[in-house]
Structure 1
Amino acid sequence: MSALFVTGAYAAELKVGYVNTQRIFRDAPAAQKAAKKLEGEFAKRDQDLQRMAKQLQGLQENLEKNSVTMAE
């Protein structure tokens, strides 16, 4: 019988919390530092890809212009 009272008292003190792990990982200083490093690295790659795309587009336009005059 006393076990029921102990269990009831324990249950009354039980508190449940919620931890937003996504926010913790996103807002942590180490995570922000890593995100900035990745952004810098990918920005450089993105610029290279854009430059290469423009170069390829120019080559394609040149090929289309000169394809009629090119010998087979």
Structure 2
Amino acid sequence: MAKRGHRPSQASSNRPRFYGRHAVLAALDNPERVVRKIWGTHEALAGLDIPSTIPITFANAADLGRLVPNDAPHQ
């Protein structure tokens, strides 16, 4: 049974969502991966070289936490 307020780690179209600095960096470095959008805090994204073609949504850590499973490891 899903917990109240729990959001699955999969988007409704069954596209995977990656969370955590290392997983996101690996996805960005993978030429076979299509990155459609990035969510992150200003601090976390400040030092990253993100292509200008990828839309970025800035959010606070609490909002980002609601996008991943409750039992997800955090980095």
TMscore range, shorter length: under 0.3
Q: Relative CO higher for 1 or 2, CA cutoff 8 Å, sep ≥ 6?
A: 2
Under a length normalisation based on structure 1, what TM-score does the superposition of the two structures give?
A: 0.17
Under a length normalisation based on structure 2, what TM-score does the superposition of the two structures give?
A: 0.17
Question: Of Structure 1 and Structure 2, which has the larger fraction of its residues in helix?
Answer: 1
